[in-house]
Amino acid sequence: MLGFSYDWEREVDTTDPGYFKWTQWIFLVLFDTWYDYDKKKGRPISELPIPPDVHAKGESAVRAYRDGKRLAYQAEVPVNWCSALGTVLANEEVIDGKSERGNHPVIRMPLRQWLLRITAYAERLLDDLANVDWPDPIKKMQHDWIGKSEGAEVDFDLPPSPSGRGVGAEGGPARKIRVFTTRPDTLFGATYMVLAPEHPLVDVITTEKQKPAIEAYKKQAASKSDFERTELAKKKTGVFTGAYAINPVSNEMIPIWIADYVLVSYGTGAIMAVPAHDERDFEFARAFKLPIRPVVLPPREWFEKTEVFKTIVSMGVDSRFKAPLEGKSDHLAETLHKFEADIVEKVAQTWQTQGADAHKIIDNLYRQSIELFEECYCDEGTAINSGPFNGQTTAQFKREITDWLEKDGKGQRKINYKLRDWLFSRQRYWGEPFPILHELDAAGQPTGAIEPLTLSELPLLLPQVEDYKPTGNPEPPLAKAKAWLEVTKNGKRYRRETNTMPQWAGSCWYYLRYLDPKNEQAFCAPAKLQRWLSVDLYVGGAEHAVLHLLYSRFWHKVLFDRGHVPVAEPFQRLVNQGMILGETDYHVDAAVYEKNRSVIEKLGLQVVRVKDEESEICLLRNPSAAGKFAPLTEEQIAKERGQTLLKGTDIELVGRADKMSKARGNVINPDDVVNEYGADSLRLYEMFMGPLEAVKPWSMRGVEGVYRFLNRVWRLVIDDRLENVKLLDAVQDVEPDKETMRILHHTIQRVTHDLDTMSFNTAISAMMELTNHLTKQTVRPRSVMKTFMLILSPFAPHLAEEIWNALTVPPSPSGRGVGGEGTLAYEPWPTYDESLLKADTIEVPVQINGKVRGKITVAADITKEGLEAAARSDERIKSQLEGKTIKKVIVVPGKLVNLVVA
RNA sequence: GCCGAAGUGGCGGAAUGGCAGACGCGCCGGACUCAAAAUCCGGUCCCCGCAAGGGGGUGUGGGUUCAAGUCCCACCUUCGGUACCA
């Protein structure tokens, strides 16, 4: 309807078996691929080298080894299980540990899931961002989402304990706790450790005495969602395990705690805490009175910003510190708060031994009494309290200590990513079934062996089931389809996978299917991939910045590695279109409304109450026919001293354009707009509103504006007084005059350029200017009008075609061409002639001290010298220069003259 | 808190460091009309002035420059995203 020229032959439907056959096939490709970190490439699982010791253990060990390396693998992952609803919930569906619907308790429990090893591709997903033409903010979001950080893994040994508990008491291998840190240089400052509550070692190391507290804390943590654990836990919580570990550099025994600010899913699920140089550790240490040891000396500027420094300076270093020393401390203690009194005492001590230099004093305070500082220093600096490494810069220290750790076998360099593997299964009925079989033994129990279906067995359809409600236990609904579930193949019994794939699966690769939507032999013919990829331009919302766009890139790279697509990146250029908001609408606060209720009612206004998270507002509207959106008009608004008031009252209004929504009743239905103004008007208005990327409010008056423009264009060519479509007599086969040619070619240039940059709004204004010029002409050359229609056609295709037809087809009873005659669809895009763009004369502003004081009209090709002379000799300028000396003259040929005077 | 984007007339918005406000909406005046709608023509950033002309002006405060909406520094506001990533 809007003339988008979509090729409906290429329509795809991700839920069609002909489509998801290939979604399942791609899953099989993922299943059949392992990532070779040396070659930085996904390779067939058959090429995976099997270590001899694995080989020696036999077939099932080899199989397990392979399964552990595949890009599609199974793992136990905690999910939000709501037993009352009998289903697994998404994070958004859980509020305060209760289900959004029904408010039933939700617990996190581990469940077998399929995951995709996107983390293997993290480095390439990061690197290849450099090769695509995407908006920088989106690139940055992906960059941060992947979240690469370089550091070291360090092992903290657990001491042998007299009780025999802890340290591998049950013969387990765990004699150490491994942590990841980006700041190995702060190792000397690690004064305690924290494990995530879910960390497997927690149960092993916890002492008998601490068991009840630890258990209680773990239970509490399990009932919180990820969101709450992070969002709500502003205050640090945690419990001591009773166990200690050995700091590998200082050989100190440091306590091990558990706390939910440490996430089990990042790094190793355990941290070394350096409270002096990490915000979170600092807060935690303060809350639980754990020792804080500074190991990085901040630069002076940091000290000078701290409260401690300000306190010292405000008290005066030189004289006043004698006071407490001379027995007047009672008086001082009364007047200073505790914090300051502490400082006074410490400063006094330092002052005695070190002298009165404020910087020296503060340096000493920092090294010895860091508790006095209200914040911690987390940037780089110079090493202190770090044994042989003292005095080193952070970068140097990091390098050397990592080398030392590696040499001693206590740690190693390590790169970590925030990006996690992609949880790819859902416990729902709707979704693509996994093309996977689980082998069963004679007793009908899974053996652990998994068997992929072959391409010839695809698509695997969803079974018909009586109901697709949850099963009431964590088993997905497909488990109820008994007939579908069990399969015998090559004499072996199998059970089908009962999880289904998420929504993302189908949308991850649809751009490839567009190229060859009906192909039954392949997801797409290689020649077509070669011909079309990569996608030249992808227009989409910014909400897909990280998830969809990252998932698609990942799948594409796997397909690339396996030789199924010819390029490494799917989308060459990406543009985020902005959202179109509803029309500007005025509201008052609910409280303001209640107060002024009678006044507002007297004006006959309608009120729509809208509640959001924080507040309730009352939208004020005009009464209108059922369902019609009628916001206040400008006549009903008064603006005074920067305030917006409801006219005739002192009620302050807030005017704002909001997202279109049913609740607000401000939804614009495109069908209505098309009925009233036509498809070209709707299309043109959307392009004229403003930059494509910007969020913009809708305006019905704006639609009328472009509608009027299209009418003017029509009347430029067509005699609208007649019933039939008939050319105006003004349209003639004559040579255009010079000025018209110049404007026409300038318009072609502007429209061509603006289309490239997708600045549709300015392209349209250029054509409006052309129209304004042509309207004034009594003779309108046919050639000019034809060219105009060609550049107008991408913006208003229907109208441009109609006019083109009238311009090119001789009058006939029907007035229309036949058989492709009289269409502009196949005409080439017009080109512009540079030489026609230049006007004979131009107007150039003349500035004096940067202010425009006059304008001169000169030949377009005037020389720099000529321009300056013309400026100086202009009467107005001359009179203004009287009695002044020109100190400097700036002449920009064709642009301006600026005379700088004393 | 952090990250990102944006602040320009009554409104949507234009301006490779070079005449701020193109184009459109709205508004004002005029033409056409018995009248209205539609259409056409002219005007429309603010202040002083009859005018010629002058002064001010792109969120706020500084800075760079002959020249700043545009570049730099600090801040304010709005919108969007994100959540302790060691």
Strand B close to A641 by CB, under 7 A: no
Angle (CA) A661-A666-A668 rounded to 5° is 95
Mean predicted confidence (pLDDT) in A622-626: 72
In which band, very low, low, confident or very high, does the pLDDT at A648 lie, cut at 50, 70 and 90?
A: confident
Q: Point out the nucleotide closest to A894 (alpha carbon to C1′).
A: B18
Which residue has 């952070």 as its token pair? A394
Three-class secondary structure of residue A687 per DSSP: helix
Whether residue A867 is predicted with pLDDT greater than 90 in this model: the reply is: no
Q: What is the pLDDT of residue A97?
A: 67
In which band, very low, low, confident or very high, does the pLDDT at A44 lie, cut at 50, 70 and 90?
A: very high
Give the percent of chain A with pLDDT over 90. 38
- Is pLDDT larger for residue A141 or for residue A397? A397
Three-class secondary structure of residue A566 per DSSP: coil
Strand B within 7 Å of which CB atoms in A 791-830?
none
The type of residue at A82 is C
Q: What is the pLDDT of residue A67?
A: 94
Residues A571, A591: Cα–Cα separation, whole Å: 50
Whether residue A812 is predicted with pLDDT greater than 90 in this model: the reply is: no
Task: Give whichever of A20-34, A231-245, A265-279, A662-676 has the largest mean pLDDT.
Answer: A20-34
Q: E strands of A56-102, at which residues?
A: 72-82, 87-89, 94-95, 98-99
Protein CA A707 to sugar C1' B36 (Å): 21
Q: E strands of A386-525, at which residues?
A: 411-417, 422-423, 436-440, 446-452, 486-489, 492-496
Protein CA A708 to sugar C1' B26 (Å): 15
Q: What is the pLDDT of residue A164?
A: 45
Strand B close to A764 by CB, under 7 A: yes
Protein CA A891 to sugar C1' B22 (Å): 25
Strand B close to A76 by CB, under 7 A: no
According to DSSP H, which parts of A562-699 are helical?
Answer: 590-595, 597-602, 670-677, 679-688
Whether residue A432 is predicted with pLDDT greater than 80 in this model: the reply is: yes
CA nearest A198: which of A70, A116, A94, A107? A107
Strand B close to A849 by CB, under 7 A: yes
Protein CA A703 to sugar C1' B43 (Å): 24
Strand B close to A763 by CB, under 7 A: no
Task: Give whichever of A593-597, A733-737, A741-745 has the largest mean pLDDT.
Answer: A741-745
Q: What is the pLDDT of residue A168?
A: 43
- Is pLDDT larger for residue A138 or for residue A72? A72
Residues A845, A843: Cα–Cα separation, whole Å: 7
Residues A23, A20: Cα–Cα separation, whole Å: 5
Q: Point out the nucleotide closest to A689 (alpha carbon to C1′).
A: B12
Protein CA A419 to sugar C1' B74 (Å): 35
Strand B close to A518 by CB, under 7 A: no
Q: Write out pLDDT tens, residues A180-224.
A: 999 999 999 999 999 998 888 898 889 999 999 999 988 887 776
Poorest-confidence range of A295-299, A469-473, A854-858? A469-473
Q: What are phi and psi of A262, to 5 degrees?
A: -100, 125
Interface predicted TM-score of the whole assembly (ipTM), two decimals: 0.94
Whether residue A66 is predicted with pLDDT greater than 90 in this model: the reply is: yes
Q: In this structure, are residues A887 and A900 in contact, taking their beta carbons and an 8 Å threshold?
A: yes
Beta bridge partners of A451: A437
Q: What is the pLDDT of residue A332?
A: 44
Strand B close to A136 by CB, under 7 A: yes
Q: Point out the nucleotide closest to A695 (alpha carbon to C1′).
A: B79
Read off the pTM: 0.84
Q: What is the pLDDT of residue A519?
A: 94
Q: Write out pLDDT tens, residues A301-317.
A: 778 777 777 777 666 55
Q: What are phi and psi of A591, to 5 degrees?
A: -65, -40
Mean predicted confidence (pLDDT) in A797-809: 90
Q: What is the pLDDT of residue A403?
A: 94
Residues A683, A352: Cα–Cα separation, whole Å: 80
Q: Write out pLDDT tens, residues A325-362.
A: 444 444 444 444 555 666 777 777 777 776 667 777 78
At a CB cut-off of 8 Å and minimum separation 6, what does A213 contact? A239, A240
The type of residue at A607 is V
- The dihedral of CA A373, A378, A381, A387: what is its sign? positive
Three-class secondary structure of residue A634 per DSSP: helix
Q: Write out pLDDT tens, residues A696-731.
A: 999 999 999 999 999 999 999 988 777 777 788 888
In this structure, what is the dihedral angle of CA atoms A656, A658, A662, A667, given to the nearest 10 degrees?
90
Q: How many residues does chain A have?
A: 902
Q: What is the pLDDT of residue A163?
A: 47
Strand B close to A661 by CB, under 7 A: no
Residue whose CA is minimally distant from B10 C1': A634
Q: Write out pLDDT tens, residues A529-559.
A: 999 988 998 888 777 777 888 999 999 999 9
Q: Report, in angstroms and rounded to the nearest whole number, the Rg of chain A calculated over CA atoms.
A: 37
Q: What is the pLDDT of residue A892?
A: 87
Each as own residue / partner, the long-range contacts of residues A30-34 (CB below 8 Å, 24 or more positions apart, any chain) are A30/A70, A30/A71, A30/A72, A30/A116, A30/A555, A30/A558, A31/A70, A31/A71, A31/A72, A31/A436, A31/A452, A32/A70, A32/A452, A33/A70, A33/A71, A33/A558, A33/A561, A33/A562, A34/A66, A34/A69, A34/A70, A34/A71
In which band, very low, low, confident or very high, does the pLDDT at A162 lie, cut at 50, 70 and 90?
A: very low
Strand B close to A681 by CB, under 7 A: no
Residues A800, A779: Cα–Cα separation, whole Å: 20
Q: What is the pLDDT of residue A518?
A: 93
Whether residue A639 is predicted with pLDDT greater than 50 in this model: the reply is: yes
- Strand B nucleotides, any atom under 7 Å to a protein CB: 3-5, 10-16, 18-20, 22-26, 38-41, 53-55, 66-68, 79-81, 83-86
Q: What is the pLDDT of residue A95?
A: 64
Angle (CA) A648-A653-A656 rounded to 5° is 135
Q: What is the pLDDT of residue A767?
A: 96
Poorest-confidence range of A130-134, A171-175, A260-264? A171-175
Strand B close to A644 by CB, under 7 A: no
Residue A263 has a CB neighbour count (10 Å cut-off) of 14
Residue whose CA is minimally distant from B67 C1': A850
Q: What is the pLDDT of residue A169?
A: 44
CA nearest A38: which of A26, A47, A46? A47
According to DSSP H, which parts of A175-328 are helical?
Answer: 201-205, 211-222, 226-231, 279-288, 300-305, 307-315, 322-323
According to DSSP H, which parts of A635-721 are helical?
Answer: 670-677, 679-688, 700-717
Protein CA A725 to sugar C1' B34 (Å): 31
Residues A258, A467: Cα–Cα separation, whole Å: 44
Q: Write out pLDDT tens, residues A70-129.
A: 999 998 887 777 777 777 777 666 666 677 677 777 777 778 889 999 999 999 999 998
Whether residue A172 is predicted with pLDDT greater than 80 in this model: the reply is: no
Q: In this structure, are residues A72 and A422 in contact, taking their beta carbons and an 8 Å threshold?
A: no
Mean predicted confidence (pLDDT) in A501-530: 93
Residues A468, A480: Cα–Cα separation, whole Å: 9
Whether residue A15 is predicted with pLDDT greater than 70 in this model: the reply is: yes
Protein CA A555 to sugar C1' B3 (Å): 27
